[in-house]
Amino acid sequence: MISNPIAFYIFVWLAGCCIFSVYLLSILKLNHTIMRIPDITIAVDGYSSTGKSTLARLIAQHFDFLYLDSGAMYRGVTLFAQEQGLIAPDNTIDPALEAALEGLDLHFAPGTILHMGERNIEKEIRTMEVSSQVSPIAAVPYVRAWVDRRLHDFAASGRVVMDGRDIGTTVFPNAEIKIFMTARPEVRAQRRFDELVSKGESPVFEEVMKNLQERDYIDSHRETSPLRRAEDAFVLDNSEMGFTDEIAWAEGLIRGKFGLLDAPDAIA
């Protein structure tokens, strides 16, 4: 015990200095890392509900990147087609959609919140109604070309992390870092189910699983730009991982790429 009050104050002061120095050093180390990372593109592709957007957001926050969600763009086009009556319940798409797209304004507000004109459509594009028709819409070549043009415009400057299905293979084949995410189907379906419940929906687990499998199938088998792993992508199976493990993995990958740390042994 420290009985002398002066010694006690000196002790508290020294302890405070130590804690503050450790805090300062960790900030400086992170800033140093951020400053040494050049303007690059990181592509995060993978199956539905593997947590691509969560990882991409974490990377964006952690390393000061702009985050772009390409799936949101396909969802936005789907909502638009539904509202304009250009897609039937049997997924038949009216060819008038191609011309109609020229008048469509989809863009991200800060925080990667998708807007259709002035309208925030972030909630509407995540419903089962949109999920059930987005893959047929995303398989249409002129829709893909339209979305790709927008993505390139949005990513014109700076460091960008973008998630989707074909970012590392088609949209940004020269992306400096490519990540391909996967997880067991039942884990993915549970995540999606929980997400829908947290948003106030009442999903049926079997339907969520069916929708997931259907989307995986359509996304992987379409003619234009199918979902597949780029040969130079690092594979991340996060079935048993939490957010902290994932960001540590990504940090290792990014630092390793720029010689800031040993690269993880991640290519499958």
For binding to ligand DC (CB under 6 A), which residues are involved?
48, 70-71, 74-75, 134-135, 138, 164-167, 215, 219
Nearer to ligand DC, 37 or 135 (CB): 135
State the Cα–Cα distance between residues 235 and 106, nearest whole angstrom: 31
Closer of 165 and 255 to ligand DC (Cβ): 165
Nearer to ligand DC, 37 or 73 (CB): 73
Q: In angstroms, give the least distance from the CB of 2 to ligand DC.
A: 58
CB of 54 to ligand DC, least distance (A): 11
**Minimum CB–partner distance for residue 213 and ligand DC (Å):** 11
Ramachandran region, residue 243 (left: φ > 0; alpha: ψ -120 to 50; beta: rest): alpha
Name the residue nearer to ligand DC (CB basis): 37 or 137. 137
Is the Cα dihedral 256, 64, 245, 179 positive or negative? Answer: negative
Instruction: Kindly state the smallest distance separating residue 67's Cβ from ligand DC, in Å.
Output: 13
State the Cα–Cα distance between residues 13 and 181, nearest whole angstrom.
Answer: 47
Kindly state the smallest distance separating residue 144's Cβ from ligand DC, in Å.
7
Minimum gap (Å) between residue 22 Cβ and ligand DC:
39
* Choice between 37 and 208, CB closer to ligand DC: 208
Q: Which is nearer to ligand DC, 33 or 213 (CB)?
A: 213
